[in-house]
Structure formats: structure tokens, C-alpha cells
């Protein structure tokens, strides 16, 4: 019978057939035995196989394969983890040793290394340029593992720990993607290493330093106890009076030398002021009877190489640590007694790392927690002969237990993660019970919720269970109050376990008619409501990360249920099933709360089940045409936002927008004008122009503050949508009420000045009182709707006012920001606009045909739009593939998530450059005939037809690119889809083209961003459309000279 291991190996070989660049070594290959060797020979296991990727992309492909195939894997760099965690029985070993490049930057301030680089090679390379970086004291250590789990070493007092010197990292995440670590992920890497991803590249600081003073001082150790105690008494005094400069690094150790047991120091003076170094070292040497002093000028690289000759190159056994604040008399007394009994085996030893200076300084950008001056005592049982292991470990364990009985005030609770047996000490102690540990758990849930990196040094499966059960249980036994707390939390823990189990079972159900797995929650009855209201973007992201992309996820929001779908096929299936879906529930919530309808939505929409087409749906209520609000709205909007009515609105928008800009900065103004908030200028001018074009001049004329009130209302929209009571959000409700009053005043003014039945209005597409024909037709339609009073009618127009501005204005804002912050793009865009609209006017049809301008507009809708497209089944069982959705439960799709699917969106330009889905790329939506891989959709090169030649235009030039959003149907969904697709999308696009063209053609614009500021979307608006930039944006503008 074929075993699971054999199946995994066969699957791996099939995968590697498509990745010949990845070297593969099976257990039957002759080099397998030598390649699997790691430092600790006590770990006698055989991995499933060894693979040796050559690039970061190779690693990404391997991780993606392993996660998808449920194959456990380990990462090997130096292979020197004390517990042999890079080699696990039957797990795939991903060996990074071939990714070993070292690149010093031109400024000589940093070095970038591949994931397989070891300390000695790095130091040798740096020494060529007279540079150093903090490393461990042994040359065969992998620099990535040493740095990212803390990084104690000989020059850390002056330059900081390894984690303190990490500037950047390139990581393969749990989705098999190569990403540059952001600030949050980088903080986790600085202390938790590979627990959050495979670190394939690290950039660290380097420092100019040529020769140092380095070597060993060996003391006469005939009376090793007295020598050790006297030395440390004197050394402690020097520390307390500040006589030990940070340039001096000291590693105390006791080792078995050929002539017997000795007490010695390994010293490094990390400064080129050798005279000061010799004076300081002389003070240290005077603390004991010196037998040998080898300190001399040399490079750090030479010193590290020498230290490596003093320890076994391969060993059996383990290492244990205890961290103490001071090497006081009690500590040295215990240690002195232990040294007398220390086994004589080569490799049994004792060492002391001292944390002081920069290495002991707090660093909130890392999760490494031992941030106070202390001594880390290493109890080393790494011996050259296997038969000597047990005696050595017994000695070290006894010493550790005795040290732990010291005064608790002198003990640090944690240990050093790199030399801690997994599961031996709870991670909450290692990383501290406070914010670091909590931050680490949060990062793990965000970046690796499925624990793909479970075999990393930091084992989270152990952390969560051990900390909650072992530690919590023992505390509860000691404190009855804690027992009560634990008991009160038990229902929440059980709820989470039960919902997690239900989610697992649902996700693994293979039937043809299955329910979506739920997003686990801990609070009974409330469900996911709190997390969804607090941060819906994170809630959605975390829920989707638990399953394959095409698996829907169900949320419970108190008494409501909604299911989130993802994946192109599912989204398109929802749009195709529009006849079985409607938006009644969400529209009722919106009208009654966000728009202030106070029941109008329920009275108007809930009673109308006839649908949006002229012919009522079969079996629907027999309503008068005047009460069929769905049909009336659909008809009025769709007939007035196309053809001549749309042309009229668009032309008026262009006219009014030009006038608004001329008022803001008159043509007579030729000097630079300071603009305190550039985006605020875009908001005010576009709102005024669009509102006048749609509603006519009197809405703003009667209500001069409506522009300011609208943007304040838009700020509060999330609060109103989330049904926060008026008591807790008085400002939100107050500004909504002011807007409603303004619209009511305008409606009354229009009715008083215009007779709907006037035959002169026939064929008129715009007049001053209602503005556009669309607004006049809406007024006529709503007159006959039952319950549509003068107090209710403004509710529906505030909704249209919001829809007409809340998305397109921030879209134009981002278009201009991303153009202006890229000078080359700004020059290209201006040239394009000038060519398409010569003479300073606006040729709308020419602008609408511009591939580049359309691509910029679409890219902003992709990148900045975060809307939940919501539908409700109106049939008993609506299905998408095998998944069933109950009647009345909401179905939602997230435009934000679909626009960030790296498996389907193209991220590479024509010259091979990378354009991540999280970044703006002006040409993302352009297809070039001479480049078959171009366009928004990711294309597999292997599936291209061979022999295709680039199409050429007349004259031999390449055919211009084509704007091709249709390539990503189901992923690019800023307008929704199906029968309920946004009817205003054509007008919005014309607004965008005109807005960009007018700003760029009329003005020179310089954004004045603070140094280091990165403009980000305002995530408080997440879920409600296009998110504007966060914070004010200072700029200066001046009129462009006519060319």
C-alpha cells in the first residue's frame, strides 16, 4: 500500500517538473546524508526530501505548493538551531543555502543578504570595505536566524542587538507571495523570525570599522571558584562606576581546555581608538591572575573565525539559559560550586552574554522583550562525543534548577528563544506577558492564521494552548478570584471552539449542496458584530484567509446573517443570478437610517416586490404603477443618465467646474498660491459643479453652507450606516438633519416655481429650478407614491446627492495625487490632455477614448474603492456552485478584496518591473499588442500561442494600447454588476475625465508633503465606497501659461 509520505513525494516531484530550477535531493540520492547534516547530531531524523531554491520566487512557489498540498516544511539556513528545528522527520526541508548573495549599498550604510548567508562570509565581504555589522560570535551561524530571534553578539553594546539593526526584509508569506515586509510585519520579524513567513532577504545596518582589538584573556584557574567570584565582584564595581565603555564587549566563559578547566574572556574593542581600548582592557585584566592574553589588532572577521575553532563543529546535546539582572555574590557562589563539578567533556561549558548599552535600550519596533541590562547565562551541554551527553545535560540541568532558586528579584522570567526547548517555557514569558506577546499573537492571526509556519522556532500552536491551559490553570489554582474570571470566560471559549469546529466541518463538506462555513466568534448571540463594526476590513480579510479563495464565509451580526463570497466565478455567478436577488434589505436600512427616512424605506420598498422591470414579477403584489418605486427609480435614472440628458449634465459640469476653479484661483493670479488642503479644494469645487449640474443653481443658492455640511455628513456616513443611536452620535444626526432641511427647502422652492404639467417642458433636458430632467422626472414619479410626503421626499434626494459625490470626488482626488507625485506621468498626462483637447477646451469624447486616462481612472477605482456589493435571495434556495444561500440572508462581495487577488491580477510591466496589487500603476489596465502578457489579468506564459507577432500600425509603429477592464470581469467591480449595476457610472467617468483635465490643464500644482509622509486612504470609510486620502494635503498652485 502506498503511504501518505510516498504520495507527498510523488506530488512534490510533479510540482518540481514545472520548476526545474529548484534543486531536488531525495533520500535515495548519495548527497542526501551530507546535505541533511545539522549542527546538533542528537537530532537523528530524515526529512521527506531536500529542495534547494535558487531565488525568492522559488521559495514562494514551494510555500504555495506545500500549503496547498498540506505538506509540512522546515526552513534551513545555517542549520545551527540547538534543537535541530530545521530538520524534522518526514517534513520537506527547504534549504536556502544557495540564496547567498551579499550586496553592500552604494552609501556603505547597509547590506542586503540572501536568506542562506552565514556570519563568516558576511563579515569577510564587509571587511573588504572596512565595514562591520553586529553578528553572533560563531562564523557558521546563519545571519537571518541569528538576527531575527534577538541577536546577542560581541559588539552589541555599542551597535545594538541583531533585531535592532534590521532595516528591511523580503518575506514569503503564508499565501506563497514574495512581499516586502511593512512596518507591522517587520516588527514581528524582529524577534519572532520565521514564525510569520520565510525570510528570503534581509537588509541590515553596517558601520565603518576596520581593525579592532580582539582576542582572549585566560586566567589562572587552579582555584577557578575564587578567580571567578573575585573577577565578577571587581567587574560589577567597574560597571557601577561607569568604567566599562560600550565599545568593549566581553563574553565570560568556562571551558574544558586540553590542560584542564579554565576561566577566560573573549573580548572585542569595537573602536579604532586602540589606545583607549588597551587602557580599558588593562583594567579588566587586572581583575584576575592572567595566564595568557592574546588581544591584538585584527578584523572582526578574523576574531570570529578563531572563536569558531574553540568549539565543536558538530555536537550532541543541548543548551539551557537563565537570565539574571546582576552577577552578584549569590549568583557567583552558585556558579563557583557548579564549576568544581563540571564534567570534563569537550563542549561542556558555561558562558555569559551581557546586555547593556544600546542592546538593552527599549525598542518598540521589535517584539524582542528582554530590554533591560542583564546577564544571560548559557549552560552548554554540546559535546563532541555522544556517550558524554547525559552527564553534561544532568550537570547543566542541576545548575539551572539551583539558579532558579535565587532571589526572584534578580531573575528575569523569560529565556532566549533560540536556545529554548520548544514548549519548555511559555511564549508569554519569553516575550513578556504584555504588549509584545499580544502583538505577536495578533500578527500571527493576521499573517499566518492557518499556522503554515508551524515548524518555525516560535511555535504558536504550543503558545496558545500552553499559555491558556498550563499557565492559566496553575494561576487559577492559586487565586480563587482568577478561578471566577476563568469560569466567566469559559462560555466565550466554548463558543469560539464550537464555531471553529463548525467552520472546519463546513469547509470540508464535499456535497453538492452545502452551507458556507461561518467565521468563528466568541460572543454568543452577538457573533461577529463587534469585530465587523470596529474594523470590517480586518474582519473580512481574516475570514477569507482561513479558506481557499472560492469558499464563501458566513458572518453572524447579532440577529442578521450575511455571507461573503469571493473569487471571480462566484462574483460573476451572483451577477448572473440578479433575477433571483434584490437589494431591498440594505436599501431599507440605508434609507431609514443613513438618509433619515424614519420608516420611509420600509413603507416604500418593502411593500414593492414587483421588481425593477416594467412587467411585474410573477406572483408579486398587485400595485398601482404609481406605487412601484423600484420600477420608477430604475426607469428614471437609467433613461436620464444616457443620451442627450447625460450630455447636458456632463457639459454643464465642465462649465461649472471651470467656473469654480476660476473663482478659487482667478486667471489674473500669476504667482504661486498656497492651498492649505488640496483635496479639500477638489471636494468643494467638484461638489459645487456637480450639484449645480444635476440640481440646478438653487439648491446651493438657497443653502450656502450645504457644501460644508455635505462633507461633514460624508464623514459621519459609517456611523449612520452602523445604526449607532442618536444619543451616542449627536453630530452625525445633526448634520444629516441640516442636509434634509436644505433639500426640503429646495424641493418646496422648485414646486412653487415650476408646473410639472407645463407643455413647454416637453423635451427640455435642463431648467433652473429642478436642474436636470432626471430630478424633474423623479419629482413627478414620487408625487404619486403612497406615503411620499414633503417630509419623506428629501430622504431620497439626499441619497442621490451622496451617490453623486461620495465616490467620484475622492476618485478624482487620488487620480490627481498619483499623477502629481510622479513627474514623468504628470508630463505624459498633460501632453495627452493637450493633444486631445487643443485650445484649452474639453473634448469629452476624445478624453473618454484615451487609454491612459481611462487606465488611471480605473486603477484608482481598483486601488481605493472598498464597497460591499450586497444582494438578498428572493427564492427559497439560491445557489452559487455547490454553495446554498438561504432566502432573506445577505450576500456580499468586497471590491477591495477582489481587486487584490495576486493570483489573477497582473503585477509585471513590459520591462519586467514589479507593480504590486497594493501599489498604483497607471498602465495596469492597458493591453499592448506587442506584449501579450500586458493588461490587468495575470496570464500564464505557457498558455500563449507561439509564433505571434506584434501588430503594427501604418508606418511600422506599434498599435496604441487598448483599455481593457473586461479582462478582469468579476474582479474589477467598483460599480457592482448585473441588473443593479450603478446607473451613474457613465456620468461619473465623464466627471473624472473633466476633473483631471481641468486641474492639470489650468494649473501647475506642487504637493508639499511632509518628509516621509505616505498618503493613505482613510480606512474609517472602508465599506462605503472610494476612500479619500487621510489628512490635509498642503500644496501650492499657479496658473499655467498658455502654450
* CA–CA distance, 26 with 11 (Å, rounded to integer): 13
* Pairing outcome for strands 890-894 and 560-565: parallel
Statement: residue 792 has pLDDT above 90: no
Q: C-alpha angle 817/822/828, rounded to 5°?
A: 105
CB atoms within 10 A of CB 493: 12
* Spatial contact of 161 and 359, defined as CB atoms under 8 Å apart: yes
Long-range contacts for 634-639 (Cβ within 8 Å, ≥24 apart)?
634/983, 636/774, 636/777, 636/778, 636/781, 637/774, 637/983, 637/984, 638/983, 639/777
pLDDT computed for residue 468 by the predictor: 43
**What confidence category does residue 635 fall into, taking pLDDT thresholds of 50, 70 and 90?**
confident
Statement: residue 657 has pLDDT above 50: yes
Between residues 189 and 505, the one the model is more confident about: 189
* Spatial contact of 630 and 607, defined as CB atoms under 8 Å apart: no
pLDDT computed for residue 355 by the predictor: 92
Long-range contacts for 838-843 (Cβ within 8 Å, ≥24 apart)?
840/1001, 840/1042, 842/654, 842/994, 842/997, 842/998
Between residues 370 and 920, the one the model is more confident about: 920
Count Cβ atoms within 10 A of the Cβ of residue 488 and give its class: 0-12 exposed, 13-18 middle, 19 or more buried: exposed
Q: What is the mean pLDDT of residues 371-393?
A: 91
Q: What is the mean pLDDT of residues 710-737?
A: 89
Helix axes 629-640, 773-783, angle to 10 degrees: 170
pLDDT computed for residue 375 by the predictor: 94
**What confidence category does residue 949 fall into, taking pLDDT thresholds of 50, 70 and 90?**
very low
**What confidence category does residue 594 fall into, taking pLDDT thresholds of 50, 70 and 90?**
confident
* Spatial contact of 185 and 171, defined as CB atoms under 8 Å apart: yes
**What confidence category does residue 223 fall into, taking pLDDT thresholds of 50, 70 and 90?**
very high
**What confidence category does residue 465 fall into, taking pLDDT thresholds of 50, 70 and 90?**
very low
Find the range with the poorest average confidence among 534-538, 679-683, 765-769.
Answer: 534-538
- CATH number (3.30.465.10, 3.30.540.10, 1.10.760.10, 2.40.30.10) of 100-209 reads 3.30.465.10
Residue 291 sits at φ, ψ, to 5 deg, of: -105, -30
Count Cβ atoms within 10 A of the Cβ of residue 728 and give its class: 0-12 exposed, 13-18 middle, 19 or more buried: exposed
Statement: residue 913 has pLDDT above 90: no
* CA–CA distance, 715 with 703 (Å, rounded to integer): 19
Q: What is the mean pLDDT of residues 880-898?
A: 90
Statement: residue 959 has pLDDT above 90: no
Q: Which of 585-589, 658-662, 950-954 has the highest mean pLDDT?
A: 658-662
* Pairing outcome for strands 514-515 and 883-886: parallel
pLDDT computed for residue 460 by the predictor: 41
Which DSSP string corresponds to 958-982? BPPPEE-GGGGTTT--TT--GGGS-
In percent, how much of the chain has pLDDT > 90?
A: 53
Q: Is residue 1023 classed as helix, strand or coil in its secondary structure?
A: strand
* Spatial contact of 648 and 680, defined as CB atoms under 8 Å apart: no
Please report how many Cα atoms fall inside a 13 Å half-sphere around the Cα of residue 986, on the Cβ side: 16
**Where, residue-wise, is CATH 3.30.465.10 in the chain?**
100-209
Q: Helix, strand, coil % (nearest 5) of the chain?
A: 45, 20, 35
pLDDT computed for residue 958 by the predictor: 58
**Where, residue-wise, is CATH 1.10.630.10 in the chain?**
637-839+1002-1039
pLDDT computed for residue 403 by the predictor: 93
Exposure string for 284-304, b = 16+ CB within 10 A, e = fewer = bbebbbeeebebeebbbbbbb
Q: Which of 457-471, 512-526, 677-691, 963-977 has the highest mean pLDDT?
A: 677-691
Question: Rounded to whole angstroms, what are the CA distances from 57 to 61, 99, 170, 176, 204?
Answer: 6, 11, 11, 9, 21
**What confidence category does residue 602 fall into, taking pLDDT thresholds of 50, 70 and 90?**
low
Q: For residue 359, what is its C-alpha cell?
A: 542592546
pLDDT computed for residue 423 by the predictor: 67
pLDDT computed for residue 466 by the predictor: 42
Query: In this structure, what DSSP letter does residue 116 have?
Result: T
pLDDT tens figures, 89-148: 889 999 999 999 999 999 999 999 999 999 999 999 999 999 999 999 888 899 999 999
Statement: residue 627 has pLDDT above 90: no
Q: What is the mean pLDDT of residues 474-483?
A: 54
* CA–CA distance, 170 with 178 (Å, rounded to integer): 7
pLDDT tens figures, 449-462: 888 888 887 754 33
pLDDT computed for residue 598 by the predictor: 60
653 Rama sector, left if φ>0, alpha if ψ -120 to 50, beta otherwise: alpha
Between residues 305 and 213, the one the model is more confident about: 213
Statement: residue 988 has pLDDT above 80: yes
As a CATH number, domain 212-446 is 3.40.462.20
Statement: residue 478 has pLDDT above 90: no
How many residues appear in the chain? 1043
**Nearest Cα to Cα of residue 71 among 54, 51, 99, 56:** 51
Statement: residue 343 has pLDDT above 90: yes
* CA–CA distance, 458 with 194 (Å, rounded to integer): 8
pLDDT computed for residue 623 by the predictor: 85
Query: In this structure, what DSSP letter does residue 22 have?
Result: S
Q: For residue 247, what is its C-alpha cell?
A: 565599545
* Pairing outcome for strands 248-257 and 348-355: antiparallel
pLDDT computed for residue 948 by the predictor: 40
pTM of the model: 0.60
Q: What is the mean pLDDT of residues 20-31?
A: 90
pLDDT computed for residue 481 by the predictor: 63
Q: Where are the alpha helices (DSSP H) in 849-894?
A: 851-864
Statement: residue 400 has pLDDT above 50: yes
pLDDT computed for residue 1042 by the predictor: 63
Query: In this structure, what DSSP letter does residue 780 have?
Result: H
pLDDT computed for residue 3 by the predictor: 65
**Nearest Cα to Cα of residue 336 among 220, 221, 217, 219:** 221
pLDDT tens figures, 32-64: 888 888 888 888 888 999 999 999 999 999 999
CB atoms within 10 A of CB 278: 12
* CA–CA distance, 773 with 649 (Å, rounded to integer): 9
Please report how many Cα atoms fall inside a 13 Å half-sphere around the Cα of residue 348, on the Cβ side: 26
Helix axes 793-805, 808-820, angle to 10 degrees: 10
Which DSSP string corresponds to 510-556? -SSSEEPPBPP-SSTTTBTHHHHHH-HHHHHHHHHHTS-TT--EEEE
- In angstroms, what is the C-alpha Rg of the chain? 35
**Where, residue-wise, is CATH 3.40.462.20 in the chain?**
212-446
Give the distance from CA 663 to its chain's centroid: 42
Find the range with the poorest average confidence among 124-133, 446-455, 712-721, 850-859.
Answer: 446-455
**Nearest Cα to Cα of residue 642 among 347, 989, 897:** 989
pLDDT computed for residue 851 by the predictor: 95
* CA–CA distance, 118 with 37 (Å, rounded to integer): 16
pLDDT tens figures, 311-341: 777 888 999 899 999 999 999 999 999 999 9
Q: For residue 523, what is its C-alpha cell?
A: 460572543
Residue 918 sits at φ, ψ, to 5 deg, of: -85, 0
**Average pLDDT in the chain:** 87
* Spatial contact of 219 and 264, defined as CB atoms under 8 Å apart: yes
As a CATH number, domain 637-839+1002-1039 is 1.10.630.10
Count Cβ atoms within 10 A of the Cβ of residue 955 and give its class: 0-12 exposed, 13-18 middle, 19 or more buried: exposed
**What confidence category does residue 185 fall into, taking pLDDT thresholds of 50, 70 and 90?**
very high
8 Rama sector, left if φ>0, alpha if ψ -120 to 50, beta otherwise: alpha
Statement: residue 240 has pLDDT above 60: yes
pLDDT computed for residue 433 by the predictor: 55
Statement: residue 560 has pLDDT above 90: no
pLDDT computed for residue 469 by the predictor: 44
Q: Which fold has domain 1-99?
A: 3.30.43
Statement: residue 905 has pLDDT above 90: yes
Q: What is the mean pLDDT of residues 58-83?
A: 89
**What confidence category does residue 434 fall into, taking pLDDT thresholds of 50, 70 and 90?**
low
* Spatial contact of 930 and 956, defined as CB atoms under 8 Å apart: no
In percent, how much of the chain has pLDDT > 70?
A: 94
**Where, residue-wise, is CATH 3.30.43.10 in the chain?**
1-99
Q: For residue 279, what is its C-alpha cell?
A: 587602557
**What confidence category does residue 69 fall into, taking pLDDT thresholds of 50, 70 and 90?**
confident
pLDDT computed for residue 159 by the predictor: 94
Site of grid cell 440578479: 578
* Spatial contact of 1030 and 1014, defined as CB atoms under 8 Å apart: no
**What confidence category does residue 218 fall into, taking pLDDT thresholds of 50, 70 and 90?**
very high
Amino acid at each position: 500500500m502506498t503511504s501518505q509520505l510516498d504520495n507527498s513525494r510523488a506530488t512534490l516531484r510533479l510540482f518540481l517538473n514545472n520548476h526545474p530550477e529548484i534543486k531536488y535531493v531525495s533520500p535515495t540520492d548519495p548527497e542526501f546524508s551530507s546535505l541533511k547534516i545539522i549542527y546538533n547530531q542528537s537530532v537523528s531524523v530524515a526529512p521527506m526530501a531536500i529542495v534547494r531554491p535558487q531565488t525568492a520566487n522559488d521559495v514562494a512557489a514551494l510555500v504555495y505548493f506545500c500549503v496547498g498540498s498540506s505538506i509540512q516544511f522546515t526552513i534551513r539556513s545555517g542549520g545551527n538551531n540547538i534543537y535541530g528545528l530545521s530538520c524534522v522527520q518526514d517534513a520537506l526541508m527547504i534549504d536556502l543555502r544557495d540564496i547567498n548573495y551579499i550586496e553592500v549599498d552604494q552609501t556603505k550604510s547597509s547590506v542586503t543578504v540572501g536568506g542562506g548567508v552565514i556570519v563568516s562570509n558576511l563579515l569577510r565581504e564587509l571587511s573588504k570595505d572596512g565595514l562591520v555589522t553586529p553578528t553572533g560570535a560563531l562564523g557558521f551561524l546563519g545571519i537571518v536566524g541569528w538576527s531575527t530571534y534577538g541577536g546577542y553578539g560581541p559588539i552589541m553594546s555599542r551597535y545594538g542587538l541583531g533585531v535592532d539593526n534590521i532595516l528591511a526584509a523580503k518575506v514569503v508569506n503564508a499565501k506563497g507571495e514574495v512581499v516586502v515586509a511593512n512596518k507591522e510585519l517587520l516588527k514581528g520579524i524582529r524577534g519572532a523570525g520565521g514564525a510569520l513567513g520565510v525570510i528570503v532577504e534581509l537588509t541590515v545596518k553596517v558601520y565603518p570599522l576596520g581593525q579592532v582589538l580582539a582576542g582572549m584573556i585566560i586566567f589562572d584557574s587552579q582555584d577557578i571558584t575564587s578567580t571567578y567570584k573575585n573577577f565578577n565582584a571587581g567587574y560589577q564595581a567597574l560597571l557601577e562606576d561607569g568604567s566599562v565603555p560600550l565599545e568593549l564587549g566581553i563574553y565570560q566563559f568556562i571551558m574544558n581546555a586540553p590542560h584542564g578547566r579554565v576561566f577566560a574572556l573573549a573580548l572585542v574593542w569595537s573602536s579604532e581608538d586602540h589606545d583607549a581600548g588597551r587602557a580599558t582592557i588593562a583594567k579588566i585584566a587586572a581583575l584576575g591572575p592572567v595566564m595568557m592574553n592574546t588581544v591584538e589588532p585584527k578584523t572582526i572577521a578574523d576574531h570570529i573565525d578563531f572563536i569558531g575553532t574553540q568549539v565543536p563543529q558538530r555536537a550532541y546535546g543541548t543548551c539551557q539559559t537563565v537570565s539574571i539582572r546582576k552577577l552578584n555574590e549569590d549568583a557567583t557562589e552558585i556558579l563557583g560550586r557548579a564549576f568544581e563539578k563540571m564534567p570534563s567533556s569537550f563542549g561542556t561549558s558555561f558562558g555569559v552574554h551581557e546586555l547593556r548599552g544600546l542592546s538593552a535600550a527599549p525598542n518598540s519596533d521589535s517584539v524582542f522583550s528582554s530590554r533591560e541590562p542583564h546577564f544571560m547565562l548559557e549552560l552548554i551541554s554540546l559535546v563532541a562525543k555522544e556517550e558524554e551527553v547525559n552527564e553534561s545535560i544532568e550537570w547543566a540541568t542541576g545548575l539551572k534548577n539551583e539558579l532558579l532558586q535565587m532571589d526572584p528579584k534578580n531573575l528575569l522570567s523569560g529565556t532566549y528563544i533560540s536556545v529554548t526547548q520548544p514548549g519548555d517555557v511559555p511564549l508569554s514569558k519569553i516575550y513578556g506577558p504584555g504588549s509584545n506577546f499580544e502583538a505577536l499573537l495578533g500578527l500571527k492571526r493576521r499573517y499566518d492564521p492557518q499556522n503554515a509556519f508551524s515548524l518555525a522556532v516560535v511555535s504558536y500552536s504550543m503558545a496558545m494552548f500552553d499559555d491558556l491551559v498550563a499557565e492559566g490553570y496553575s494561576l487559577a489554582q492559586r487565586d480563587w478570584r482568577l478561578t471566577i474570571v476563568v469560569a466567566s470566560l469559559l462560555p466565550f471559549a466554548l463558543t469560539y471552539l464550537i464555531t471553529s469546529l463548525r467552520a472546519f466541518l463546513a469547509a470540508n463538506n464535499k456535497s453538492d449542496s452545502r452551507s458556507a462555513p461561518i467565521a468563528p466568534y466568541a460572543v454568543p448571540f452577538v457573533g461577529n458584530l463587534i469585530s465587523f463594526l470596529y474594523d470590517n476590513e480586518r474582519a473580512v480579510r481574516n475570514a477569507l484567509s482561513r479558506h481557499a479563495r472560492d469558499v464563501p464565509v458566513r458572518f453572524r451580526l447579532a440577529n442578521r446573517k450575511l455571507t461573503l463570497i469571493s473569487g471571480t466565478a462566484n462574483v460573476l455567478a451572483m451577477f448572473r443570478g440578479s433575477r433571483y436577488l434584490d437589494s431591498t434589505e440594505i436599501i431599507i436600512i440605508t434609507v431609514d437610517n443613513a438618509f433619515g427616512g424614519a420608516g420611509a424605506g420600509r413603507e416604500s420598498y418593502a411593500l414593492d416586490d414587483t421588481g425593477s422591470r416594467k412587467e411585474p414579477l410573477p406572483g408579486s403584489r398587485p400595485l398601482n404603477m404609481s406605487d412601484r418605486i423600484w420600477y420608477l427609480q430604475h426607469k428614471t435614472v437609467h433613461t436620464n443618465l444616457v443620451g442627450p440628458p447625460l450630455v447636458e449634465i456632463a457639459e454643464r459640469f465642465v462649465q461649472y467646474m471651470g467656473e469654480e476653479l476660476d473663482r478659487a484661483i482667478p486667471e489674473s493670479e500669476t504667482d504661486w498660491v498656497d492651498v492649505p488642503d488640496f483635496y479639500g479644494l477638489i471636494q468643494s469645487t467638484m461638489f459645487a459643479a456637480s450639484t449645480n449640474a444635476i440640481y440646478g443653481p438653487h439648491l446651493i443658492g438657497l443653502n450656502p453652507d450645504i457644501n460644508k455640511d455635505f462633507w461633514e455628513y460624508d464623514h459621519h456616513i459609517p456611523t449612520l450606516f452602523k445604526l449607532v443611536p442618536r444619543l451616542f452620535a449627536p453630530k452625525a444626526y445633526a448634520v444629516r438633519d441640516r442636509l434634509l432641511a436644505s433639500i426640503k427647502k429646495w424641493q418646496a422652492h422648485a414646486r412653487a416655481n415650476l408646473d410639472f404639467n407645463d407643455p413647454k417642458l416637453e423635451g427640455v433636458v435642463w431648467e433652473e429650478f429642478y436642474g436636470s430632467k432626471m430630478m424633474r422626472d423623479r419629482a413627478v414619479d414620487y408625487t404619486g407614491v403612497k406615503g411620499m410626503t414633503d417630509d419623506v421626499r428629501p430622504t431620497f434626494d439626499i441619497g442621490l446627492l451622496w451617490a453623486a459625490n461620495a465616490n467620484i470626488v475622492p476618485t478624482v482626488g487620488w487620480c490627481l495625487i498619483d499623477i502629481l507625485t510622479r513627474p514623468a506621468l504628470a508630463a505624459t498626462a498633460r501632453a495627452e490632455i493637450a493633444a486631445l483637447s487643443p485650445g484649452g477646451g474639453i473634448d469629452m469624447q476624445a478624453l473618454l477614448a484615451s487609454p491612459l486616462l481611462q487606465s488611471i481612472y480605473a486603477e484608482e477605482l481598483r486601488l481605493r474603492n472598498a464597497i460591499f456589493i450586497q444582494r438578498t435571495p428572493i427564492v427559497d434556495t439560491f445557489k452559487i456552485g455547490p454553495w446554498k444561500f438561504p432566502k432573506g440572508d445577505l450576500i456580499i462581495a468586497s471590491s477591495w478584496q477582489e481587486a487584490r487577488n495576486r493570483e489573477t491580477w497582473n503585477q509585471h510591466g513590459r520591462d519586467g518591473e514589479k507593480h504590486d496589487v497594493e501599489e498604483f500603476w497607471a498602465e495596469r489596465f492597458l493591453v499592448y499588442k506587442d506584449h501579450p502578457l500586458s493588461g490587468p489579468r495575470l496570464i500564464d506564459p505557457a498558455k500563449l500561442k507561439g509564433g505571434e507577432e506584434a501588430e503594427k500600425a501604418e508606418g511600422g509603429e506599434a498599435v496604441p494600447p487598448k483599455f481593457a477592464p473586461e479582462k478582469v470581469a468579476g474582479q474589477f467591480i467598483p460599480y457592482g454588476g448585473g441588473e443593479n449595476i450603478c446607473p451613474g457610472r457613465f456620468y461619473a467617468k465623464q466627471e473624472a475625465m473633466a476633473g483631471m483635465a481641468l486641474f492639470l490643464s489650468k494649473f501647475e500644482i506642487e504637493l508639499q508633503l511632509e518628509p516621509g509622509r505616505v498618503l493613505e486612504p482613510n480606512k474609517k470609510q472602508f465599506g462605503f465606497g472610494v476612500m479619500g486620502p487621510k489628512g490635509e494635503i498642503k500644496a501650492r498652485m499657479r496658473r499655467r501659461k498658455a502654450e
